[in-house]
Amino acid sequence: MYQLIYMSIPCQPFSPDEIQKLLQQTVPNNKEKGITGILLYKKSNFMQVLEGEESVVKALYAKITADSRHRHVTTLTSEHIKEREFPDWSMAFRDLSHEGQEIKKQFSDLLIPESRNVDPSLYSQRVRSFLKIFMD
């Protein structure tokens, strides 16, 4: 199993509707390819954790880096892992720019402080550190 974490800046800010459209396209594709992870959006920045077979994750990341909607795509970390940290999420998502918006149920409540369904200790210190940096 392989995990890659990256950040990028979209060339133009995404509206909530554009993000929903993006997720409606990517979630089924990721599920089909065995990719899991989480996507965060805040102040016109994306951070994403991708998990899956190494060749599949690297191919998807190559596609992301070539996507004209992104600039400054930066790998934060990439490594082999023993097991997935987001095994149940073909792409968990949280828009940290629009805190008042209702979260679609197919996406994650990982970063909602009052959520009782998620135990942050289930995630590696590395992932928790990147999430905390991104959220601040």
Residue spans of the domains in the chain: they are 2-135
- The pLDDT of residue 112 is 46
Q: How far apart are CA 125 and CA 122, in angstroms?
A: 9
Q: How far apart are CA 93 and CA 103, in angstroms?
A: 9
Q: For the chain, how many residues are written? A: 136
* Cβ–Cβ < 8 Å for 14, 22: yes
97 closest CA partner among 8, 2, 12, 16 = 16
* Cβ–Cβ < 8 Å for 45, 112: no
Q: For 2-135, CATH number?
A: 3.30.70.100
DSSP 84-103: -SSTT-SSEEEETT-TTSPP
- The pLDDT of residue 52 is 96
- The pLDDT of residue 98 is 53
Mean pLDDT by 10 residues, the chain (136 residues): 92 81 84 89 84 96 90 90 82 58 45 47 64 62
